[in-house]
Structure 1
Amino acid sequence: MSEKNVNHTKWMKRAIFLASLGKNTTSPNPRVGAVILDKDGNLISEGFHHKAGMPHAEAMAFNNLKKDAKEGSMYVNLEPCCHQGKTPPCVDKVISSGIRKVYISIQDPDKRVSGKGIKLLKEAGIQVHVGLCKKESLDLNKDFIYRNIAKKAFGVLKWAMSIDGRIGLKNGNSKWITNTKSRSSVHSFRAEFDAIIIGGNTLRKDNPILTTRGKINPEPLRVVFTKSLDLPSKSNLWDCDKAKTLLIYDSSTANESYLARIPKCVEVEKVSSDNPELISKILAKRGCNKVLWECGPRLATAAIKSNCIQEIITFIAPKILGGENSMNPFGDFEFREMDEVIKLSDSKVSLFGSDICIKSSFKK
């Protein structure tokens, strides 16, 4: 088969599929897959980035070569890196291999790369084509891209409510609104995230565990944000053998004498105000691409107002809680006109027994 007759979209989609195999294990790195064809357009190798600290997709593909790649082609869903990190630059390996053409779906938003890898490939005489299957590649690494551009973690807000929009009775009782299938799915779904965030109120009332129940190792970082630091001395989140816990507190309002209650295994950071954006920036700096907000109404409202939420996931149970004073998912956004309200897009609906799950994105 002549290389000119190669179905380029087919091989880029293969690279994207390979990249998706590293879905829950690559942070803070992106998900990347690579495919190598020989000069006649035959598949001779492929690879993907398994985990941060392990070889990148391009290096894995070269390690798996069945024959010489000279004058061949490579397909990769993200621009090859050109800086020395935990692993050597991938660009150097591509250039030294004698590959003639490189098809790149999207440019890397990381400032250490961001076009520099493409430039080096072109300077070495390699033909570079950019933009194949761009939409799919942007979607696959939207959290990594967002963190690098916004310098904040990509945020997803999750809550469960009754069909009349209540998250609990007026006495605070909320166990359980949804069914066992919904709750089990949340444990699995947490594996997609680098961190899970709650507020101090949720910790005091629910004493959650916030793990995937062993579906991924290590477990996502558990994050508690508190304005008062008035937290219980005993809590499931203080058991750091299950998962790591980070406590973030507002130094402008907190009583720091309460820090004596917090076990030494819990990492502690302070911020200057109760703005949730500060939490998102801290987690981004720690390499968290995607974080899950499982917080109560006050923190959820503040997180949306400060643009910390990019997607929402709502579980709706066929139950009526009623009551004017029953708990709502949010506080007051102070909208006065219908054209001010928050509009969502790209909604996807699924069922968990009798419960409905709706996933939506915030309109850009």
Structure 2
Amino acid sequence: MRRALDLAERGRGTVSPNPLVGCVLVAGDEIVGEGWHAAAGGPHAEVVALRAAGERAAGAVVYVTLEPCAHIGRTGPCVDALLESGVAEVVAALPDPNPTAAGGADMLRAAGVAVRLGVLADEAAQQNRVFLHNLATSRPFVVLKSAVSLDGRIAAADGTSRWLTGNAARERAHRLRAQVDAVLVGSGTALTDDPRLTVRLPDQAATQPLRVVLDGRGRVPATARVFDGEAPTLLFTALGAASATRRALGEKIEARSVDVVAVPTAPGGALDVHAILTELYRREVRCLLIEGGATVAGSFLRAGLVDELVCHLAPLLLGERGRPLLTGDLVGTLAEAWRFEPVDVEVVGPDVLLTLAPADRPQSVPDPPAAPVAADRHTSP
């Protein structure tokens, strides 16, 4: 099963909105076939493994990370292929939580095939946490990425933040972009850093994620690199600013390099993050990476919408005048602190990479009132 999990990982970044699935066929002590789901609409892992095994699949034990599907979608049901091949047993890590695809285990048992569920289930659930979250919530899985100093600053007092972390951490950030469906920043980051928000890796030709910009007041100019057409861009703006924003980006819209969507604003003036996630999910964004500054990070955190925190901790200090990870008050006492649990801790070059999940999802709290633009140059309003 561990081999099947390793194989499933090869589909990360290419199978969305489908789950990661790997499959291994074993006859006696020998692996006779293996495969993974490589792309949405492509053959499922079981079918790839069965093709590799050929006639040797008859009587084999199938190890697969997700219960074989029993429905006809973009491809045929995997249960039919398994039954036709004559396998003797199917061992699955997770039952399929999707009600439209579940039932494969029962169909296999009814046909006389032995079935076991739950082998390495925790590892499989962690691997497919995005897919499981999508089914449970019908919204994107939100990853907040930040690079911070030892004293919790994301930029120096003058707003400079290039580069807090080392080369290895920056390469890791590009690999993370390659694994998600969309990357989001606010207007402040777009103005200050002028990021491309694309995947640039020397050893990988990655599918580019959707670039998302939050710009409630139409501040980002058409000359910004995020509108360069290298990858699709979606700009969210306020209802009252939509017409002016569309006029300013007219040529980019006509060239199909950017799309503009107007959403309501929340109390305090910030764009409604719930409406933003609803629209992104409608566009098949299943995993969203937030790379914005303190205001954007705070908006999603205060709404209780951050599902994972990826923090690159740099071994340096910037002092109290440095730009903080969050703006505004969050809690009043230590007992009220928002707590996270470590998922992974890794040394990456000179930096420490922390992957954290909310220990208890906090109740949403309102954003602070919108500050003047000059007060938060590195982040969006």
TM interval, short-chain normalised: 0.7 to 0.9
Map Cα deviations across residues 118-157 of structure 1 (whole Å, 9 max, x no partner).
2322333322211111011111111111112111211111
Residues 1:270 and 2:262 aligned together: yes
TM-score under structure 1 length normalisation: 0.88
**2:241 partner SS:** coil
Aligned pair partner of 2:209 in 206, 220, 227: 220
Q: Specify the alignment match of 1:8 in structure 2.
A: none
Residue 199 of structure 2 contacts residue 206 of structure 2 at CA under 8 Å; is this kept in 1?
no
Q: Which residue of 1 aligns with 2:72?
A: 84
TM-score, structure 2 length as denominator? Answer: 0.84
Query: How do 1:200-219 residues align onto structure 2 when only pairs under 5 Å count?
Result: 200-214=187-201, 215-219=204-208
For residues 240-275 of structure 1, give each alpha carbon's deviation from its aligned partner in whole angstroms, at most 9, with x where no partner exists. 2x2221222232x43422212221221233333323
1:359 maps to 2:355 = yes
* 1:312 equivalent among 309, 314, 326: 309
Worse-superposed segment, 176-185 or 29-38: 176-185
Provide the residue aligned with 1:94 in structure 2. 82
Counterparts of 1:101-180 in structure 2, within 5 Å, are 101-113=89-101, 115-180=102-167
Instruction: Please tell me the root mean square deviation across aligned C-alpha atoms, in Å.
Output: 2.2
**In the aligned structure 1, how far is the partner of 2:146 from the partner of 2:342?**
18
In 1, the alpha carbon distance for the partners of 2:12 and 2:155 equals 33
- Cα separation, 1, equivalents of 2:37 and 2:121: 19
| Structure 2 letter corresponding to 1:105 | A
Q: Does the C-alpha gap of structure 1 residues 46 and 349 become closer, same or farther in structure 2, counting only changes over 3 Å?
A: closer
Change in CA separation of 1:112 and 1:271 when aligned onto 2, cut-off 3 Å: farther
1:291 aligns with 2:288: yes
The answer to whether the Cα contact below 8 Å between 1:77 and 1:105 also exists between their aligned partners in 2 is yes
Does structure 1 residue 36 correspond to structure 2 residue 25? yes
Q: Deviations over 1:62-113 (max 9, x none)?
A: 2112424334321111011222222222122112222232111101222311
Structure 1 residue ranges without an equivalent (≥5): 1-11
Matching residue of 2:327:
331
Q: Encode CA deviations 1:165-211: one digit per residue, 9 max, x unaligned.
A: 22223443333333334333322332222211111221122210111
Check conservation: 1:275, 1:306, Cα contact below 8 A.
no
User: Hey, what's the Cα distance between the residues in 2 that align with 1:42 and 1:178?
Assistant: 45
* 1:49 alignment counterpart: 37
Q: Give the residue type in structure 2 aligned to 1:150.
A: T
Q: Using the alignment, how far apart are the partners of 1:100 and 1:351 within structure 2?
A: 44
In the other structure, the counterpart of 1:6 is: none
Q: Distance in 2 between matches of 1:356 and 1:320?
A: 14
What is the CA distance between 1:235 and its match in structure 2? 0.9
Match of 1:27 in 2: 16
What is the Cα deviation at residue 333 of structure 1? 4.1
SS state at 1:260 partner: helix
Contact 1:37 1:74 in 2 (8 A): yes
Structure-2 separation of matches of 1:227 and 1:58: 46
Q: Counterpart amino acid of 1:160?
A: A
Q: CA-to-partner distance for each residue in 1:271-329, whole Å, 9 max, x for gaps?
A: 333232332333333333322110111111111122321111222333332244x3211
How far, CA to CA, are the matches of 1:51 and 1:346 in structure 2? 30
Q: CA separation in 2, counterparts of 1:133 and 1:174?
A: 41
How far apart are the structure 2 equivalents of 1:333 and 1:194?
A: 31
Say how many residue pairs are matched. 348
1:59 maps to 47
Cα distance change of structure 1 residues 62 and 318 upon mapping to structure 2, 3 Å threshold:
closer
- Answering whether residue 216 of structure 2 is matched by residue 250 of structure 1, we say no
Structure 2 CA distance, aligned partners of 1:219 and 1:346? 29
Q: What's 1:238 paired with? A: 227
Partners of 2:348 and 2:86 in 1: CA distance: 52
Q: Mean Cα displacement is larger for which, 54-63 or 103-112? A: 103-112
